[in-house]
Structure 1
Amino acid sequence: MTKHFTSSSPAGYDVQLTRPRNLTAAGLAIVAVTYGLARYCFGLFLPEIRREFALGPETIGLIAGLSYAGYLMATFAGSWLSTVFEPRLPILLGGVAAATGMAVIGLAPDPWILALGVFVAGASPGLSYPPFSDVIVRHTEASRQNTIYAWINSGTGFGVAFAGPLALYAGADWRFAWLTFAALATAVTVWNMLALPRRGPLRTAPSGTRPVRFLLEPRARPLFAAALVFGMITAVYWTYAVELLWTLTGNAQDSILFWIVLGMAGVTGCFAGGLVGRWGLDRTYCALAVIVGFAVATLPLLIGTRIGIYVSAACFGAGFIVMTALFGMWSMQIFRQAPSIGFGFTFFLISLGQGVGPVLGGFAIPVLGQPALFVAAGLLCCGLAVLPPRD
C-alpha cells in the first residue's frame, strides 16, 4: 500500500493548512484551462486552422512542436520559482500564459503569430502544474493529499470535455473558440489569485545543488524511465488517433465526438486517490498500464465500429488521467524534501517523451503502417507494469 504524504514541513517552510474544497476546485480549474485547453486542444481545431493559413504538414509539425518546447522550458522555471519564492507565483504566471497564448492564437493574423501563441499557451501548464505538489504537501492534511491531488489532476479531462461541445458549436469559427478559452483562463487565474494560500516564512535558504542531488535518488530511476516511455506511448495516441479516425471515416463530427468521450472519461481521474487508497499505488499503477496499453493497441481493431471507437477513447481518457495522477503521487512519495523539483522533472520526462513519440511515429508509419504502430505502442505500455512503484 502506498504511504500517505507526511505532514512535516519540507524544505524548511511552515505548514499552514487551508480549506481543501476551495483549493481543490481552483486547482482543478487551472489544470483544465492550462492542460485541457491551452496545451491539448490545438489538434482539435487543426483542420480549420490549416485551411485558413494554407499550412503544409512540415509547418504544422513545427508549430505543434512549439507547444512541447514551451512546456519543457517552463517546467523547470515553474519548479524553480516554486522552490525559491512561493508556489502561488508560478501558478498565477501559468494562468496568465494560458490566457495570453490562447488570445494570441484566436487573433493570429499569420502563421508566425499563431506559432507564438501556441508556444506561450503550451508553456502554461509547465508553470502552473508542478508547483501544486508544494501547495498540496504544505497546506493540506496528510490523510487527504492523495484525493486532493487526484481531483486537481483530473482537470485535464474536464478541459478536454469542455472543448468538444464548444468545437461543435463554433464549427468553422475556431477563433471564437480560442477567444472563449482565453476569457475562461483569465477568470480562473483571478480565482486562483484569491484562493491560493501564501507560503510561510523561509527558515533555511535552499541549496543551489539541491535539485541535482535529489534527482540522483536511486529510487527515482524506475519512475523516470517509466515517465519517459509513457510520454512516448501516449503521444502516439494523442497525435495520430484522430488522424486515423478521420482517414477511415472522413467524418469530422465523429472525431469531435471521439474527443468528447475521451475528455469525459478523463474526468474519472478524480477517483485515482480512492483507487490508490484501496489497492495501493503499485497495483493501481500496474492495472492502469495494462488498460492504457489495451486502448492504444486495440484502436485499429475497434475502429470499424462506432462503439469500438468510443470504448478505446474511454479507456484511454480514463487511463491517461489516472496514470498521470499516479506518476505525481509516485514522485511526491520519493521527493519529500522538494516536491516540486521531483514532480516537475517527472512531468518534464513525460512531455519529453510526448515530443519524441510523434517524431518516431512519423518515421515508423511508412515502414510499419499506423495499425502496427498502435499495436506496438500498446504492448510497450503494458510492459510498463514491470516497473511498478515501490514503497
Structure 2
Amino acid sequence: MRYFWSLSAAGFAATAIGFGPARMGFGLFVPEFRSAFSMSSSAVGFVSSLGFFGFLIGLLIAQALLDRRGPGLPVLSGLAAATFGMGLVALAPNLPVLALGVFTAASSAGLAWTPFNNAIHRYVSDQNRPAALSVVSTGTGIGIALAGLAALVMVLLGISWRLCWAFFAAASAVALVGNWAAFCRIDKNAGGGPRDGWKDLIHPPAIPLFAIGFAYGTTSAVFIAFAADHMVNSGGMRGIPVNATPAFVYICYGLFGLTGLLTGRVRDRIGLPVLLRLLMLAGAISVSVAAIFPDNWMGLAVSSGLQGVHVMMTSAVLAFWSERLFPALPSLSFTAALLAAAAGSVLGPALAGVASDAFGAGAMLLGTATLPILTALVLRNRHVRDTPR
C-alpha cells in the first residue's frame, strides 16, 4: 500500500484533466468558438483533428520518455501542457492561437495515460493493482462530466467561456502540483521497458486490434467534434437554453462512460468477439441517433450515453487486449493500439468537417456510422485472438 493512494489519487487527477477539459473541451465549446472566431464546419473539423494530432504526438513522446526516464516526466509534462494549452485557449485572440492551445492541451492525454499504467504496474502490488487502475480510469468519466457541469454553470450564470477555460487551466495547475508531490516519493530509476520492440508488434493477430482502434478513434472523434454542435444548430432541447445543450451531452457522456469499469466482467460473461461487435454497434447507433433526433431529450441521452459506453469500454478493451497479445511489451503494445485510434481521430474530424459543409451535419453523422457497422460485420471470431503470441 506504500504508493497505492498517492498514485491512485494522482492518476485520477491527471486523467480527469487530460481526458476531460483538455481533450474534450474543444467539442464541448464548439458553439462558442464558432461565434467568437467565425468558424465553418470545415474549420471545426480541422481544429478538432489538430487536437487529436496533439494526442498522437503526446503518445509518441510519452513512450520515448518512459523508456528513458520512467513514468514521472511524461506525466508531469502532460499536465504542464494541459495547463499551458488551456490557458492559451482562454486568452486566444484569433483562430490560429486557439488551434495551438487546443493542440497543446490535447497532447496532455497522450503524455499521461500509458505512463500512469506503467507507474502502477511498477510500484503497486499485484493485489492492489486492479483497484488502482480502476481509480485512474474513473478519472476519465468524472473529468468529462465535470467539464460538462462547468459549461452548464457558465451558461446558467452568464459566465464567459474564457473564464471557464481559465478555471480549467487553474485546476490543471493544481493537478500538476499534486502529481509532482506524488512522483517525488517514487524512486528515480529510469526506464520503463524495452526500447526496441516496435518491430515485434508487426504480427498478424494484432491487425484486428489496430482496426478496431482505428474505427473507434474515428467514430468517437467525429462525435466529439460535431454531435453537440449539430444539436445546438437544430434548436437544442426543450426547457433549457440552446447553448446549454453541449453541457448535458458531456455530462451524460461522462457518467455513462463509468460503465468502462465493468468491461472485464462483461468480457468474461459474453466473450471478447461479441463485446467488440456490441461496442461497434453502440458507436454507430450513437452518431446515428445524434443525426436523426438532434432536438429530442431521449435522443440526447441515448446518443451521448452510448458514446460514453463505446469510448470507455473500447479503451479498456484495447488496454487488456494489447497486453494479452504482447505480454512482454504491455506499455508499447497499448501505445500502438492508441496510435491506431489517434490516426482515426486525426483523419475523421477533418474529413467530416468537409462532408458536413458539403452535405449537412446530419448526413455526415449517418455516413460516419457506416465505419463501425462495417467493422462489426467484417469481424470474425477467429480474428480476435485474446491469448499471448
Per the TM superposition, whether the score is higher than 0.5 is: yes
| Aligned partner (choices 219, 222, 232) of residue 233 of structure 1 | 219
Moved over 6 A (4+): 204-207
Q: 47, 50, 74: which is aligned to 2:31?
A: 47
Alpha-carbon distance change, 293 to 151 in structure 1, aligned in 2, over 3 angstroms: farther
Q: Which moved more, 1:90-99 or 1:315-324?
A: 315-324
Unaligned runs of 5+ residues in structure 2 are 237-241
TM-score (normalizing by structure 1): 0.85
Equivalent position of 2:239 in the other structure: none
- In structure 2, do the counterparts of structure 1 residues 310 and 390 end up closer, same or farther at CA, with 3 Å as the change threshold? same
**Aligned residues between the structures:** 373
Q: Which residue of 2 aligns with 1:137?
A: 121
CA contact (8 A) 1:133 1:339 kept: no
Alpha-carbon displacement from aligned partner over 1:214-248 (angstroms, at most 9, x marks no partner): 32244322211211122112223222211321232
Check conservation: 1:296, 1:377, Cα contact below 8 A. Answer: no
Is this contact kept in 1: 2:276–2:376, CA < 8 A? no
Cα distance in 1, alignment partners of residues 326 and 270 from structure 2: 22
The code of the aligned residue for 2:21 comes to L
Deviation track 1:335-367 (CA, whole Å, cap 9, x = no partner) reads 333332222221111111011112333454545
Q: Residue in 2 aligned with 1:198? A: 186
Q: Give the whole-Å Cα distance in 2 for the aligned partners of 1:287 and 1:375.
A: 14
Of 331, 336, 342, which residue of structure 2 is paired with 1:345? 336
Q: Tell me, in whole angstroms, the C-alpha distance in 1 between the residues paired with 2:41 and 2:352.
A: 14
Name the SS for the 2:386 alignment partner: coil
Alpha-carbon displacement from aligned partner over 1:21-57 (angstroms, at most 9, x marks no partner): 4322321220110111111111222222332334455
Question: Hey, what's the Cα distance between the residues in 1 that align with 2:213 and 2:91?
Answer: 35
2:384 to 359, 384, 388: 388
- Residue 124 (structure 1) aligns with: 108
Structure 2 residue corresponding to 1:220, chosen from 178, 183, 206: 206
Q: One-letter code of the match for 1:192? A: N
Aligned-partner Cα distance in 2 for 1:77–1:175: 29
Could you report, residue by residue, the CA deviation over 1:293-342 in whole angstroms, capped at 9, with x for unpaired residues? Answer: 33233443444631232122112112311211111121222333333222
1:306 to 283, 297, 302: 297
Bigger mean CA deviation after superposition, 193-202 or 290-299? 193-202
Match of 2:312 in 1: 321
Cα shift at 1:282: 5.0
**Pairwise mapping of residues 234-383 of structure 1 onto structure 2 (< 5 A)?**
234-250=220-236, 251-276=242-267, 281-303=272-294, 305-365=296-356, 366=358, 369-370=363-364, 372-380=366-374, 382-383=376-377
Q: 1:27 maps to which residue?
A: 11
TM-superposed CA distance for 1:75, in Å, is: 1.1
1:178 alignment partner in structure 2: 165
Larger deviation, residues 341-350 vs 233-242:
233-242
Q: Show the counterpart of 1:78.
A: 62
Q: Which one of the candidate residues 161, 182, 199 is aligned to 2:145? A: 161
For 1:165-191, what per-residue CA distance to the aligned partner results, in whole angstroms no more than 9, with x for missing partners? 211222350111111111111111222
Identity %: 29
Does the Cα contact within 8 Å between 1:297 and 1:376 map onto a contact in 2? no
Amino acid at match of 1:245: M
Moved more, 119-128 or 153-162: 153-162
Aligned partners of 2:40, 2:369: CA distance in 1, in Å? Answer: 28
Q: What's the counterpart of residue 93 of structure 2?
A: 109
When the two chains are superposed, the root-mean-square deviation of aligned CA atoms in Å is 2.8
Q: TM-score, normalised by structure 2?
A: 0.85
Return the match for 1:88 from 45, 56, 72.
Answer: 72
Cα deviation for residue 66 of structure 1 reads: 2.4
